[in-house]
Amino acid sequence: MNRTVKSEVNQSKNEPLIFEIKGNSLDDGPGIRTVVFFKGCPLSCVWCHNPESKRRERELSYDKKKCVGCDTCVGACPEKALDRGLPGFVNRERCSLCLKCAEVCPSGALSAVGNRMSVDEIVREIEKDVPFFENSGGGVTLSGGEPTLFMDFASRLAARLKKRGVSVLLETCGFFNCDTFMKMLYPHLDMIYFDIKLFDGAEHLRLCGRPNDVILANFAKLYRKYRQGGTEVLPRVPLIPDCTATEENLSAIADFLRKLGVKKIGLLQNNPLWFEKNEMLGRSTDIETGSMRAWIDREKMERIRSLFKGIEIV
């Protein structure tokens, strides 16, 4: 397992695609934040709320709600990959991702997902938001996808932001080489949001595409370092009906966290809009139950919260 992680870290020296830089965010850390979304992730969670972040490569998105039916794109496509007779409009097997359709689309229904940006370009984009950071105690959040998949790039970006006086928070799935992480990225971080999805290794492999031994070990190392005066680490659990939001899974995670002395946790509500995002990318959901398309109601949320007795939910 460690060899796999090491191999992926070495490959991560390639610069990533950035699929969004979102300003004025209030949900990705303290204060007003700008979130930089990296494209590419070592996991493949079936419920991924940002499915456009899974693959490293550029993709074509089709939003039927925006489409005005002008068919300008149809005439522009050299591969004849656009067909009103198809459920998703785009024949993904034919599409060469030349993106000529997106270039001529007047409504933005067809759009490219992922753009190459240098560290300088990202910093320039962020600098206009610095006054908001200073007035709110906010900063920049590196998210995705998985920023640690591109450790060298993420490190250079975080270092530049810190030099500019901007607070940097990392959102991570935790699947990375910890030694490399500690040397390259950790010194430039002010806070880490660390997702723990499933405690059972076999279930994690089934639903996320990887075992979770590296993830749990990395969290334990980082949290122990935090307790010794290091960077703050907040564990977070996405609450996905029939997947992560089971009493067995959440109780096991709570026990694991208590043994490490964890005092706070974030619980992330399911957002069924990820199904629509999958459709826009021409993908189907690998595993689906009816409950996964629903928000978790207040009564069930209260039961879930009770499983984390003794840990503050933030």
Pick the CATH number of 59-113 from 3.30.70.20, 3.90.700.10, 3.30.750.210, 3.20.20.100: 3.30.70.20
Q: What integer pLDDT is reported at residue 291 of this predicted model? A: 79
Residue 274 C-beta-side C-alpha neighbours within 13 Å: 22
Q: Say how many C-beta atoms besides its own lie within 10 A of residue 196's C-beta.
A: 22
Instruction: Select from 149, 224, 139, 227 the least CA-distant residue to 188.
Output: 139
Distance from C-alpha of 24 to C-alpha of 133, rounded to nearest angstrom: 9
Q: What integer pLDDT is reported at residue 111 of this predicted model? A: 96
HEC-encoded secondary structure of the chain: CHHHHHHHHHHCCCCCEEEEEEEEECCCCCCCEEEEEEECCCCCCCCCCCHHHCCCCCEEEECCCCCCCCCHHHHHCCCCCECCCCCCCECCCCCCCCCHHHHHCCCCCEEEECEECCHHHHHHHHHCCHHHHHHHCCEEEEECCCHHHHHHHHHHHHHHHHHCCCCEEEEECCCCCHHHHHHHCHHHCCEEEEECCCCCHHHHHHHHCCCCHHHHHHHHHHHHHHHCCCCEEEEEEECCCCCCCCHHHHHHHHHHHHHCCCCEEEEECCCCCHHHHHHHCCCCCCCCCHHHHCCCCHHHHHHHHHCCCCCEEC
Q: What integer pLDDT is reported at residue 6 of this predicted model? A: 36
Domain 2-57+115-313 CATH class label: alpha beta
- The identity of residue 7, as a single letter, is S
Instruction: Select from 237, 219, 144 the least CA-distant residue to 181.
Output: 219
Query: Which residues, other chains included, contact 69 with Cβ-Cβ below 8 Å and sequence gap of 6+?
Result: none
The pLDDT tens digits of the residues spanning 213-237 come to 999 999 999 999 999 999 999 999 9
The pLDDT tens digits of the residues spanning 87-123 come to 899 999 999 999 999 999 999 999 999 999 999 999 9
Q: What integer pLDDT is reported at residue 290 of this predicted model? A: 66
Q: What integer pLDDT is reported at residue 1 of this predicted model? A: 32
**Is the pLDDT assigned to residue 286 strictly greater than 50?**
yes
The pair phi, psi for residue 293, each rounded to 5°, is -95, 10
Query: How high does pLDDT run on average in the chain?
Result: 93
CA dihedral of 126, 169, 138, 47, whole degrees rounded to 10: 90
8 Å CB contact between 43 and 8: no
8 Å CB contact between 77 and 40: no
Q: What integer pLDDT is reported at residue 295 of this predicted model? A: 86
Q: What integer pLDDT is reported at residue 289 of this predicted model? A: 64
Neighbouring-strand partners of residue 139: 33
**Is the pLDDT assigned to residue 292 strictly greater than 90?**
no
pLDDT > 70 fraction of the chain, expressed in percent and rounded: 95
Distance from C-alpha of 190 to C-alpha of 187, rounded to nearest angstrom: 8
Q: What residue segments make up the domains of the chain, in order of their start?
A: 2-57+115-313, 59-113
Pick the more confident residue, 275 or 166: 166
Pick the more confident residue, 193 or 13: 193
**Is the pLDDT assigned to residue 84 strictly greater than 70?**
yes
**Is the pLDDT assigned to residue 30 strictly greater than 80?**
yes
Distance from C-alpha of 288 to C-alpha of 152, rounded to nearest angstrom: 36
**Is the pLDDT assigned to residue 145 strictly greater than 50?**
yes
Neighbouring-strand partners of residue 169: 141, 191
**What would the mean pLDDT of 194-216 be, rounded to a whole number?**
97
